[in-house]
Amino acid sequence: MVLGPVLTRAGRPITPLLRDRAASLAVPGAVLSGPSAARRYGLEVPDLRSCVTVAPGRQVRHPGLRVRREVLAPADLSVVEGVLLTAPAQTVVDCVRELGVDDADLVLDRAIQRRLITFEEFLARVQGQTGRRGVGTLVRVAARHAHGARSAAERLLVQGLRRGRVTGWRANLPVHDEDGVIGEVDFGFEEIRLAIEVDGRAWHSAADRFQHDRTRQNRLVRAGWTVLRFTWHDLAGNLDGVVREIDTVRRRLTG
């Protein structure tokens, strides 16, 4: 038995994904939400419980199953591989508001990098959560993304740059070349064409992401930009050294 009346063959490992699928079968008409929906989108979350959303007033009792009761708008629903679940943006907000701030911060970083939500979407949804449970966590996580820095690593670098009195940079700077838009660099000193790229805690080296980053970096170099790239470990372990390196290159390019 996996959940309620839902069975599986003997010896099959009971994984969180399997429990999530069982939850959708055990509660007809329910919507997989929170961590269960996140896993369907490939978003890693620390909460391994299965979660569904049902209409207010509906009685559902299955040991180990978390049940939310609310009315979801059609725009907040999606179907993945035949399973009804909350749409990506709704899923991210639901996960963030249930976690501690540090875990919530990391989940939002991952979601933004996987393009499940933009920070602007997240902020708009936070503004619509006034008075709801978990809004305090949502607000604190949104506040951490001040100054345009959209990951924990970027916010750490912002602190270092400000502490080191390094000025002239802009976060999420759009860059173009003769072929059009290259993309946004994490931090850019536009006048001297210095780009700072940050690989945060949630960065992953899947082939498509790796190829995209290297192709973009080559275009930046061809367009005359100097590119410095730092990892989360660089920033967490030697923030002052990273800032000194950026400032040294900045002064050299300024001439």
pLDDT at 203 over 50: no
CA distance 84 to 29: 8
Residue type at 41 in one-letter notation: Y
- pTM for this structure? 0.63
* Mean pLDDT value of segment 243-247: 97
Picking from 42, 149, 153, 33, the residue whose alpha carbon sits closest to that of residue 96 is 33
* Mean pLDDT value of segment 220-235: 92
Give 120-145 pLDDT, tens digit per residue: 898 888 888 777 777 888 888 887 66
Q: How confident is the model at residue 191 (pLDDT cuts 50, 70, 90)?
A: very high
Identify which has the larger pLDDT, 171 or 7: 171
Structural domains in the chain plus CATH codes: 16-144 (no CATH), 152-254 (3.40.960.10)
Q: What is the arrangement of strands in the sheet containing 194-199, beginning at the earlier edge strand?
A: 170-177, 180-189, 194-199, 226-231
Identify which has the larger pLDDT, 16 or 199: 16
Q: Which residue has the tokens 């008075």?
A: 131
Residue type at 66 in one-letter notation: R
CA distance 18 to 227: 44
Pairing of strands 50-54, 65-69: parallel
Q: How confident is the model at residue 183 (pLDDT cuts 50, 70, 90)?
A: confident
Q: How confident is the model at residue 95 (pLDDT cuts 50, 70, 90)?
A: very high
Residues 6+ apart with CB under 8 A from 16: 35, 36, 39, 48, 50
Read off the tokens for 103: 């875990």
Q: What angle do CA 152, 201, 236 make, to 5 degrees?
A: 70
